[in-house]
Amino acid sequence: MFKSKKHISYDKKLTEKARQNRKNPTFAEKKLWYKVLCNKQFEKYKFLRQKPLLNYIVDFYCAKLLLAIEIDGDSHAEQEDYDKTRTQKLSEYGIAVIRFTNKEIIENIDGVYMDLKNKVYKRDAVRNANPS
């Protein structure tokens, strides 16, 4: 299920865009980052913000878990096909994608935390059961 921890390549042209995205996060991205993910405060896992992977930039990424977290804003309603394709391409590399909406993060950060915690524990259990 999990591929080895080889480096996952990315389009180098995305580096500057990712940097700009980190400098200008949405309110929901900021809230999830500071309340849950930064400084290994989430279950001691290291997450990166705006991480280029393949031809995409994911909102948050944990290499140890091969896990991407995406925050879907209003624009994602019009790009469902793109999101499905992106999720499928990332999954070919063993990367799971968890999605939350802006509204979920803004209005229920505690619920998002608990949902993420449950999903991470399940993912980690599978990873430990099937080491590559």
Domains of the chain: residue spans and CATH: 26-129 (3.40.960.10)
pLDDT exceeds 90 at position 74: no
Q: How far apart are alpha carbons 70 and 57 in whole angstroms? A: 10
Residues 6+ apart with CB under 8 A from 65: 45, 96, 120, 123, 124, 127
- Better-predicted residue by pLDDT, 78 or 109: 109
Q: Reduce the DSSP state of residue 10 to 3 states and report it.
A: strand
Phi-psi region of 94 (alpha: psi -120 to 50; beta: other; left: phi over 0): left
Please write the tens of the pLDDT for every residue from 8-55.
888 889 999 999 999 999 999 999 999 999 988 888 899 999 999 999
Q: What is the dihedral of CA 24, 26, 27, 28, to 10 degrees?
A: -140
The predicted pLDDT at position 76 comes to 53
* Spatial contact of 51 and 57, defined as CB atoms under 8 Å apart: yes
The predicted pLDDT at position 79 comes to 79
The predicted pLDDT at position 3 comes to 45
Please write the tens of the pLDDT for every residue from 58-72.
999 999 999 999 999
